[in-house]
Amino acid sequence: METHRTITALVTGSTRGIGLAIAEALEARGIHVIRHGTRAEGPSSIAADLADPAETARLWDEAREKAGGRIDVLVNNAGVFEASPIDNTDAYWLAEWERCLRVNLTSAAQLSRLAVRQWLADPVRPVAGRLVNIASRAAYRGDSPDHWHYAAAKAGEVAMTKTIARAYANQGILAFAICPGFTDSAMAGDYLASRGGPGLLADIPLGRVAEPAEIAAIAAFCSADAPPSMTGAVLDANGASYVR
C-alpha cells in the first residue's frame, strides 16, 4: 500500500472476537480502522444489521464518509454460526438458510461490489484496493449436519474471492480469503462446548484451536504487506485439521 497517505480499512464484525483482533492489528500498523458491529462503540464505529441490504448499503456510505471519501481495505469478517437441524419445519429451515447466506455471503458480496466499484472509479496505484474475506475451513471440509448453510456460505465466499482476484488483478485490485478452523472466540467456543470440546480438539493435530490474534496477523499481512502476485490466495489456519 502507499505510505504517503493514511490508509483506511473497514472491518465488519469488529467489536469482538476475530474482528476486534483484526482491527487492533491493523491499527498497530498505522491503518485507520472503521469498525462495525450490531452496536456502535465509539466515533470510529458504525452499527448496522447485515441481514438487511439497506443497512449494509448504509454501512458502506457512512464508512466512506468517515474515511473522507475512500476505503482502501475491506475486511469482510462479520458472520453468524447458528444451528439449523434438518428436522425443523420447512419454513424455519429455509428462513435460517436465507439468514445465514444473507449475513455470511450476500452482505460480503454487496460490500465487495461497492468496494470494487469505488476502486475502479478512483484507483490509487500501484494497488487500488485490498479485499480480505474471512471464510472458514468449512468451505473445503464442510461442517456439521446442522450447518449446511454455513458451509455453503463460506464456500461461496471463497469462490467469490477467487473470481474478484482473477477479474481485477490487472487493475490493481487484490483479493484474499482466510479460512480459519475453530478459533477461540465466543461463536466457536459455544459450539465446541456443545459438541464435547475435547473430542473436537482431538481432531486438531496442533492440539488447540487458533487464537484470534493469529487470524488477525494473517489478515493484517493480506491487508498491508502481501505482494500483488499473491492475489487470489486462500490461506488456511486450522492447526492441520484439514490440509489440501
> What pLDDT does 190 receive?
63
Residues 2-50: tens digit of each pLDDT:
446 799 999 999 999 999 999 999 999 999 999 999 888 888 899 999 9
> Which SS3 state, helix, strand or coil, does residue 244 take?
coil
Say how far apart CA 104 and CA 151 lie, in whole Å: 10
Sign of the C-alpha dihedral, residues 188, 47, 19, 139? positive
**84-139 residue pLDDT tens:** 999 999 999 999 999 999 999 999 999 999 999 999 999 887 899 999 999 999 99
- pLDDT confidence of residue 125: 78
Model confidence pLDDT, tens digit, residues 44-97: 899 999 999 999 999 999 999 999 999 999 999 999 988 899 999 999 999 999
Question: Residue 80 corresponds to which cell in the numbers above?
Answer: 453468524
Q: Has 150 been annotated as catalytic?
A: yes
CATH code for the part of the protein at 8-237: 3.40.50.720
Tens digit of each residue's pLDDT (9 = 90 or more) over 173-232: 999 999 999 888 665 556 666 555 667 778 899 988 899 999 999 999 999 999 999 999
| pLDDT reported for residue 2 | 46
Beta bridge partners of 174: 130
What are the φ/ψ torsions at residue 49 (nearest 5 degrees)? -95, 110
pLDDT at 166 over 60: yes
Edge-to-edge order in the sheet of strand 45-47: 45-47, 32-37, 8-11, 73-76, 129-134, 173-180, 234-237
Has this prediction a pTM greater than 0.75? Answer: yes
| Residue 189, pLDDT score | 59
All three cell numbers of 133, joined, read 474475506
State the catalytic residue, choosing from 150, 168, 191, 242.
150
Pairing verdict, β 45-47 and 129-134: unpaired
